[in-house]
Amino acid sequence: MADTNPPLGHDDSISSQDPANQKSTKTKSRRPANTAFRQQRLKAWQPILTPKTVLPLFFAVGIIFAPIGGLLIYSSSLVQELIIDYSNCYTDAPIYPAFGDVPTTLVSSHFKSNANSSTSDTTAQWSRQQINATYGPTNSILVPTWQCSLRFYIPSSMSPPVLFYYQLTNFYQNHRRYVKSFDSDQLSGTAVTAKTISGGDCAPLTTSTVNGVEKPYYPCGIVANSVFNDTFSSPVLLNVPGSNVANQTYVMTNTTGISWASDKDLYGESKYNWSDVVVPPNWIERYPDGYSNEYHPDLVNDAPFQVWMRTAGLPTFSKLAQRNDSETLVAGNYQVDINHQNWVTIPICPGITSIQAPRQLAAMEAIMSPSPEAEKLNDERGP
């Protein structure tokens, strides 16, 4: 009888059951490698905080940093300064040549010695008058301006460097729409087109249409438009002691040394044709006929402008206005004349009426600070 059983198939063969002949399969996994680092099994020390461990560490840190703090306090005490808030001078001061006392609440000072204070008037005084400030290459542009004259007494000589600051309060340079309202390419000298400016960060002060042609502001943006433009004279020593000279000027400069080197690197000679740009609204008094090849902003060498463009992080800040690095400011009575420009509220954009910058809300302070530590104060007070 014939064998009817079917032949053995491949799957039933003995060789097919051999594990060595089976193909290995890999299962994909996103599991991290099994290492101490990847599996977060590194050895760690978790101290238990107890008075016995914390107090010795606390006192050790205090012993190290207490002398450092003492040195900082001592260095700060060496700084001599006089602060006069002249915000209301243009409304409250007597008309020149009369002088009146500045309210004592608006004057503060710190000096090493007041030994000679009994022989001189230590009360700050102020006066105001209207003058014509001159601008232009030939001083042919006359702008009616209120001038505030401050008289004050320095009881102790101040060694160089002597730094002169102005201070603003309630001015929010760190407002998110204010702080970015400028064009870095334009400031570096590039002739940025009106189309690029209008779509950039300078809003709301970007371009203006003149005779049907859209032209960019130079410099554009509300940071440049709101530049603080009070001008300060150098202090004048009145009735110079032991000399036949009636008055003597203590020369301070605002062209060098008040801005950082990194500030100046941001500016370049403009490649604009001056007829292709428009004067910002708050600059029109100084440039009533627009820009020309003979008379235009020189931002590369305009140190006060560079100082202003380095925006401050807090609403109360000081900025360096002028300085003297070589001569001692001797004790005596001094006078400083301050020309007040029309510095008004600054429109921002729809929904935000203004940054608080009107004169009556801003407290300006003239600060003179000597000693090497004063250099550090320049950074601490804000650019």
Q: 353 falls in which pLDDT band (50, 70, 90)?
A: very low
Cα 358 from Cα 319, distance rounded (Å): 18
Strands (E), the chain: 81-85, 100-101, 107-110, 125-135, 141-154, 162-168, 207-210, 213-216, 231-232, 236-238, 247-249, 317-324, 332-340, 365-369
Contact between 324 and 252 (Cβ < 8 Å): yes
Helix extents (H) in the chain:
51-77, 89-92, 176-179, 184-187, 194-198, 222-225, 261-264, 303-309, 373-380
List all residues 6 or more positions away from 173 whose beta carbon is below 8 Å from its beta carbon: 179, 223, 311, 312, 313, 315, 317
Cα 203 from Cα 25, distance rounded (Å): 63
Cα 320 from Cα 381, distance rounded (Å): 9
Instruction: Return the structure tokens found at 238.
Output: 């009145």
pLDDT tens by residue, 174-202: 999 999 999 999 999 999 999 999 999 99
Strand-pair partners of 208:
215
Q: 48 falls in which pLDDT band (50, 70, 90)?
A: confident
Mean pLDDT of 156-165: 93
pLDDT tens by residue, 215-252: 999 999 999 999 998 999 999 999 887 777 789 999 99
pTM of the predicted structure, to 2 decimals: 0.75
Residue ranges of domains in the chain: 80-380
Tell me the residue type at 64: I
Q: 40 falls in which pLDDT band (50, 70, 90)?
A: confident
List all residues 6 or more positions away from 194 whose beta carbon is below 8 Å from its beta carbon: 207, 214, 215, 216
Give whole-number Cα distances, 62 to 58, 66, 67, 95, 121, in Å: 6, 6, 9, 57, 45
pLDDT for 188: 96
Instruction: Return the structure tokens found at 360.
Output: 């009556």
What phi and psi values does residue 159 have, to the nearest 5 degrees? -75, 150
Taking phi over 0 as left and psi of -120 to 50 as alpha, with beta for the rest, 342 belongs to beta
pLDDT for 20: 58
Give whole-number Cα distances, 167 to 85, 141, 153, 201, in Å: 9, 28, 20, 27
List all residues 6 or more positions away from 76 whose beta carbon is below 8 Å from its beta carbon: 373
Instruction: Return the structure tokens found at 304.
Output: 């006060």
pLDDT for 18: 60
9-23, 139-153, 192-206, 207-221: least confident range: 9-23
Q: 22 falls in which pLDDT band (50, 70, 90)?
A: low
Instruction: Give the closest residue to 109 by CA, choosing from 81, 77, 87.
Output: 81
Tell me the residue type at 278: V
Neighbours of 251 (CB within 10 A): 11
Cα 320 from Cα 232, distance rounded (Å): 12
More confident of the two residues 256 and 378 = 256
What percent of the chain shows pLDDT beyond 70? 79
For residue 272, pLDDT beyond 90: yes
Mean pLDDT of 211-217: 95
Mean pLDDT of the residues in the chain? 83
Instruction: Return the structure tokens found at 117.
Output: 């204070």
